[in-house]
Structure formats: C-alpha cells, structure tokens
C-alpha cells in the first residue's frame, strides 16, 4: 500500500477560535443577509426597513440558531470526522463531544427562545428546531437530506415572517422558493466532496464560494420590491462572508 502524504501539523487555535470554527462563523454574514431579507420581504409595507432593535435581536437569534445547528452537526458527525475530517476540534480532542453537545443545544435553544420572545410563532420555531436536528442526524445517512439543509434556511425565514406585523407576502414566497433551490444545488455539490475520486479540494472551494454568495439571492429578491438599501446591504454581505470564511473555518 502506498504511503500516505504526511499532513502539516494543525495550527494551534485559541479556545474562542475553536468554538467559532464549530459554529461555522464564516457563514454568519449570509445568515444576517437572510434575516434582513426575511424581515423586509415579509413586511406589509413595501421596502420597509426593520426597526434597529428588532433587526439586531433577529441577527443574534439567527446566528445562535445557526451556531447551535452546526455545532450539533459536528457532534453527530464525530465518528465520520475521525476518518474524513480529523483536523476538526472534536476528533482532535480539543473539545469533548459531550461539551460540544451541551453548548450546541444551549445555542440552539437560546436562538429559538429569542425568536419566540420577539413574537414569532412557537410552532414555527419548533419546526425550525426539528428541521435542524433532523438534518444533523440524517445528512450522512440520507441523500435526500439536501432538502432538510435548504429547509433550515427557509424555516428561519418562515419563523421570522410570523413576527407581529409580518406575513408571507408573494415576494417573500418567491424569495424563499429561490433560496430553497439554491441551497439544494449547493448541498448536492457539498455531498460530492466525500465521493471516492472526487476533487475534494476544488469542490470545497466551490461550496465555500456558493455559501458566501447566498446574499446575492437575497439582494435580487429585494431589488424586485425596490428595496434598494437592504439589497445593497445584502450584496455587501458577500465580500464580508468571503473575508469571514478566511478568518474562521466554515466548511
């Protein structure tokens, strides 16, 4: 059997950086863009800018829910990652699986609790939690889990649309449909990274770019309703996301 190439030793990371890596913090800008688009497109007043307090709390809620989902994803995938992604924090023993499970569960609960505190439907928030947990549990076992991956982003948007004074307008429905299709395509490419003989490094770069480009879907939908300033903010999230991916692992 041919000798395996020796990988360079992983660069030491601070505890904070390890947790940001588990949270896929490099993808937070695309979550914020989704949140902004959801609040604007579900508003009964065309192109209305959300109240600053609501927007900031919604950003925090979306980030916590996303961080909880991705941290729990690594908890569920610990066995797989020992073989395929040994550089991650749990396989390396830098963070225990049990600790990551508690932290991820707390992040998810806080994110969902904040959404309900803001006035979102508890039923919608529960649907978001179920979609995230089902994806984390099934995505290595079921190829159809790409639908659940797309569903996580869509359910976050739907939950925001249940806030007081918001509704699923035609523009909102059109946007989440486009977002759903985009994420499914992205997820199918991501699954191919682990196929035998697949160009994993090349596919990984493509997937990271597509993740960073999610805000373009949001910006396009906002332009349709002539929400120029929110659209520009979403577009700015693309280079911000590319920068964040370089600062924190997001794979």
Residue 7 lies in a domain: no
Instruction: Name the pTM for this structure.
Output: 0.89
pLDDT in tens, the chain (251 residues): 333 333 333 445 688 888 988 999 989 999 999 999 999 999 988 778 899 999 999 999 999 999 999 999 999 988 888 887 888 888 998 999 999 999 999 999 999 999 999 999 999 999 999 999 999 999 888 888 899 999 999 999 999 999 999 999 999 999 999 999 999 998 888 777 666 655 666 776 777 788 889 999 999 999 999 999 999 999 999 998 888 877 765 34
Non-local (6+) Cβ contacts of 93 within 8 A are none
Residue 17 lies in a domain: no
Torsion of CA 202, 206, 212, 213, to 10 degrees: 160
182 by Cβ neighbours in 10 Å (0-12 / 13-18 / 19+) ranks as: middle
DSSP calls for 32-69: HHHHHHHHHHT-SSTTPPPPHHHHHHHHHHHHHHHHHH
What is the rounded distance in angstroms from the CA atom of residue 183 to the CA atom of residue 63? Answer: 18
CATH value at residue 164:
1.10.600
List the one residue out of 148, 209, 178, 135 whose CA is nearest residue 37: 178
The H or E element that residue 20 is part of is helix 15-22
User: Which pLDDT value is given to residue 215?
Assistant: 95
Residue 4 lies in a domain: no
Q: Which residue has the tokens 């990371």?
A: 13
Residue 16 lies in a domain: no
Residue 240: domain span: 22-247
List the one residue out of 94, 97, 84 whose CA is nearest residue 204: 84
| Residue 217, both tokens | 């879907």
List the one residue out of 31, 67, 69 whose CA is nearest residue 212: 31
Non-local (6+) Cβ contacts of 177 within 8 A are none
Domain count, the chain: 1
Residue 1 lies in a domain: no
């Amino acid at each position: 059997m041919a000798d395996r190439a020796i990988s360079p030793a992983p660069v030491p990371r601070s505890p904070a950086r390890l947790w940001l890596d588990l949270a896929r913090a490099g993808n937070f800008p695309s979550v914020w863009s989704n949140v902004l688009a959801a609040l604007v497109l579900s508003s009964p007043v065309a192109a209305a800018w959300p109240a600053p307090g609501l927007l900031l709390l919604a950003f925090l809620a979306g980030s916590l829910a996303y961080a909880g989902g991705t941290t729990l994803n690594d908890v569920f995938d610990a066995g797989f990652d020992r073989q395929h992604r040994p550089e991650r924090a749990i396989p390396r023993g830098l963070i225990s699986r049990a600790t990551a499970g508690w932290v991820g569960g707390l992040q998810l609960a806080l994110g969902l609790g904040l959404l309900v505190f803001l006035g979102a439907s508890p039923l919608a928030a529960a649907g978001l939690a179920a979609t995230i947990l089902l994806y984390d549990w099934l995505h290595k076992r079921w190829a159809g889990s790409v639908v659940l991956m797309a569903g996580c982003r869509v359910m976050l948007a739907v939950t925001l649309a249940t806030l007081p004074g918001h509704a699923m307008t035609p523009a909102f429905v059109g946007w989440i449909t486009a977002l759903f299709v985009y994420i499914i395509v992205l997820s199918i490419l991501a699954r191919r990274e682990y196929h035998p003989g697949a160009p994993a490094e090349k596919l990984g770069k493509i997937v990271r770019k597509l993740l960073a480009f999610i805000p373009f879907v949001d910006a396009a939908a906002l332009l349709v309703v002539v929400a120029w300033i929110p659209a520009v903010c979403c577009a700015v999230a693309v280079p911000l996301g590319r920068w964040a991916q370089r600062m924190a692992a997001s794979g």
